[in-house]
Amino acid sequence: MTNHKLRRSVLFMPGDSMRKIQKATQLDADTIVMDLEDGVALNNKAAARETIVEALRTLDFGRRERLVRVNPPASGFLDDDIAVTAPSQPDGFVIPKTETAADVQTVSRKLAAVEREHGWAENSLRLVAVVETALGVMNLKEIAQSDARLDALMFGAEDLAGDIGAVRTRAGWEVFFARSAVVTAAAAYGLQAIDMIFVDFQNLDGLAEECRTARQMGYAGKMAIHPKQVEIINREFSPTPAEIERAQKLVAAHRAHQQSGTGAFAFEGKMVDMPVIRAAEHVLARARQAGLIQ
């Protein structure tokens, strides 16, 4: 998990708005997704592709990852989405409404052709799959193993709720099974998991609370739909100073006990064994990735 890119905040911007994409490059988002799907009207897809090409060629994204969300394979827009935008070499593509391994492999084959044509390294264009339908949840095992390009799974709660006929609530129990399934499948097959959007972008306290729950579940980051969400998401998906300090003490104590030939040991009144140490090492890896420690 720690070898993946830092993707705490994954900010979506409509692909047909150069102004909004440019604004995103001024924010501290880890990933910017230029959207060709839900954020763009049917009669504006072609213009959005050209805007994204211009953005990729002219804007300074700094350290931010540059992804393009294409339309689903069955939409009839996918071929043009890739043919127009891929030659400008974004870092990767987001596949919405992923339901089968074949959905991922279809996009991957198209990207392989672009890589060969331009002489780029094999699998240099990465993929992220959004799982947001009942069928996608049922096929998670196959999707997660579908292709070497696949870096991460995103969970789309809003579309899933509509697909299964659920009523969306703040508590989110209607999507909890799927939310758990996505993060578990990602962990099982060495992928990152990115949590669902928080639609009430004025409610920053609610966003922070939902981020904390997602992080406790094992998610590495969260999708953002508004610039004001980015700072809170970054904060909540970064280890706190207290968490870092405790992890450093745990790892140091573990090394000392290993040298003395002790396996499990007591730390602050609790027994500690390897799963606890691995969790502490994960905290330190995330802290280093976020630039919080050396």
Which residues have C-beta within 8 Å of that of residue 57, sequence separation ≥ 6? 88
Q: Which of 35, 103, 195, 273 is catalytic?
A: 273
φ, ψ of residue 267 in degrees (nearest 5): -140, 120
From the list 45, 6, 47, the residue with the least C-alpha distance to 29 is: 6
- The Cα–Cα gap between 130 and 15 comes to 18
Q: Is 159 a catalytic residue?
A: no
Reading the block at residue 235, the tokens are 């904060």
- The Cα–Cα gap between 9 and 225 comes to 10
Residue 195: beta bridge partners? 222
CB-count exposure of residue 201 (10 Å: 0-12, 13-18, 19+) = middle
- The Cα–Cα gap between 10 and 65 comes to 9
Residues marked active site are found at 273
